[in-house]
Chains A and B, each alone.
Chain A
């Protein structure tokens, strides 16, 4: 192969690294982070923008899990599951654009409400979702 062709291939590889490589790297890194522990992503949005998503989370008793709550809204939200004591003693406040990570291992089964704890809009009291914990 000529030197010129090799140079072209190197240049092409650089472009692929900068584009496809960056995209692949991003998802691999995110996967790696999520592999540390089973992760459930919850989006926090005021009611007008769609409320908690997903509105219902299914967990299994005794199985450790990480809740990753992404606030993709323009206002601050909070997170608490009062019946499980999450976010009560240490309030979880998530500013716009920020992410909270909560590691839990559910110990009792049943259906519990998870709520926003920051007055985020007129409809704030309705910003509620459900956690369903089933037996192993």
Chain B
């Protein structure tokens, strides 16, 4: 492969971070990521408490709302996902109780897991359930960002849900297929500039494969990273760690495979952005819809929270039942039907213009992945607007997390101060243009996979490029007025 991302980074460029001193031994320790999980557990305990005792309606002054919806959410979009893939899932305290119950321990390794260990139903092994759960969660944004108790309920639902499902289904089935914030982390992690893959496929190929297993064609079952050993668990996220043709989507970065591999053959790579999107494997309608919905929801959130239409805010906050129902129906129809419908028209044009043996459905699915970079950048633009405008509330709530008049760090009286508001529109425009560039670049690579030859790909790509450009212009107009 001599292809390059944005014409700069060769697609196959990698730098293994574990080649730096100490990194590998840190990742191999069973205290990692356990210690970070415990630290986050402390943080989320405070968040949950603040959700209950910390005030009724002063959203901006509530620790739970500020740390979950301003800090955590913005960090996910701005730092964790684009740079470190699903690193949050590695340190997430929410499903930890479920996992500890399965393991009947915290650090010890005991590969026979407690619980029923059922297989997750095949029809649900995709993103649909998460798509709908996430959409359902967005129905409550009006409450989540103003009522601390709503944030408490959501987080508790995730904790309890993961505990219950962990005792019934195998390993991290909850995280893989149920967590409302799992789907977008998975899909957008395709962009991430890091990945966990095996170092040398040759080592894996020769590892511990009995002839009998080979003859049965199920030899991979024998590998330590898949099966688990005394140093670590079988991949909790049901990945085949050494598979080079996998994407970041379902790898929760738990680092178990670093602990299990007897040859130290797992790598934590730096890589060019968005390389997973080019991988012509396992693309599906579920992920396509995730891409539509995420972009559509970013637009809706912006309109509700920062847009010029006050009535939308009232709708989402359920000032009247009729308004709330209108919000739910407009929001759902747009994200589930209208937006994908518009994209379908452009895919249809693409299919008509370029020659390909692939059915229209394939063309539609393949190109839907071009919305991922743009979608992430739309979220980043949205987040930048929020964090610079409201970040200063964080300084207040950290000193007085429950609104009880505490002043832990002496910053309780820090006034609301928007930072760098003049810069925000430029960052937003810059981000969106970068998103467009990446989307177009990935888009053309997908076009090359989809159509017969270069000329056909150029023809077939025109409508998609037009769609991406118009969407970007719309987003720029929306964000910066």
Contacts and interface: CB of A to CB of B under 8 A. Distances in A.
B402 A98 contact: no
B107 A8 contact: yes
Contacts of A71: 58
A49 B55 CA distance: 12
Contacts of A134: none
A73 interface: yes
B150 to A, nearest CB: 15
Nearest to A34: B404
Interface string A85-96: 000000000001
Given A22-B46, A70-B404, A96-B61, A15 B106 contact: yes
A2 to B, nearest CB: 10
Given A15-B41, A18-B38, A70-B405, A98 B61 contact: yes
A15 to B, nearest CB: 6
A32 B35 CA distance: 30
A70 B405 CA distance: 7
B105 interface: yes
B42 A19 contact: yes
A71 B34 CA distance: 38
Given A7-B107, A26-B49, A101-B405, A72 B56 contact: yes
B55 A11 contact: no
Q: Is chain A's interface secondary structure helix, strand, loop, or mixed overall?
A: helix
Chain B contact patch, size range: 20 to 34
Contact of A99 (B35, B39, B397, B405): B405
A104 B146 CA distance: 34
Interface residues of A, number: 30
Contacts, number: 83
B46 A97 contact: no
B28 interface: no
A74 interface: yes
B247 interface: no
Contacts of A14: 35, 38
B165 to A, nearest CB: 21
A122 interface: no
Contacts of B57: 49, 72-74
A99 B400 CA distance: 9
A83 B390 CA distance: 40
Interface string B49-61: 1000001111111
B107 A49 contact: no
A68 B405 CA distance: 8
Nearest to B416: A95
A24 B153 CA distance: 21
B396 interface: yes
Contacts of A70: 55, 403-405
B155 to A, nearest CB: 13
A30 B54 CA distance: 13
B107 A11 contact: yes
Interface in A1-53: 4, 7-8, 11-12, 14-15, 17-19, 22-23, 26, 29-30, 33, 45, 49
B405 A11 contact: no
Given A18-B41, A18-B45, A72-B55, A8 B404 contact: no
Nearest to B405: A99
Contact of B396 (A22, A45, A97): A97
B108 interface: yes
B71 to A, nearest CB: 16
A70 B58 CA distance: 11
B406 interface: yes
> Which among A8, A26, A68 has the highest number of chain B CB atoms within 10 Å?
A26
Contacts of B413: 98
Nearest to B61: A97
B62 interface: yes
Contacts of A11: 34, 38, 106-107
Contacts of B404: 30, 68, 70, 99
> Which among B46, B55, B397 has the highest number of chain A CB atoms within 10 Å?
B55
Interface of A: 4, 7-8, 11-12, 14-15, 17-19, 22-23, 26, 29-30, 33, 45, 49, 68, 70-74, 96-101
Task: Please provide the 9 A-B residue pairs with the shortest distance between their CB atoms, ordered closest to farther.
Answer: A97-B61, A99-B405, A11-B106, A18-B42, A72-B55, A97-B58, A96-B58, A22-B45, A18-B41
29 contacts: A8-B105, A8-B106, A11-B106, A11-B107, A15-B106, A18-B38, A19-B45, A22-B42, A26-B49, A30-B404, A49-B57, A70-B403, A70-B405, A72-B58, A73-B56, A74-B57, A74-B59, A96-B58, A96-B60, A97-B55, A97-B58, A97-B397, A98-B61, A98-B403, A98-B412, A98-B413, A99-B400, A99-B404, A100-B405
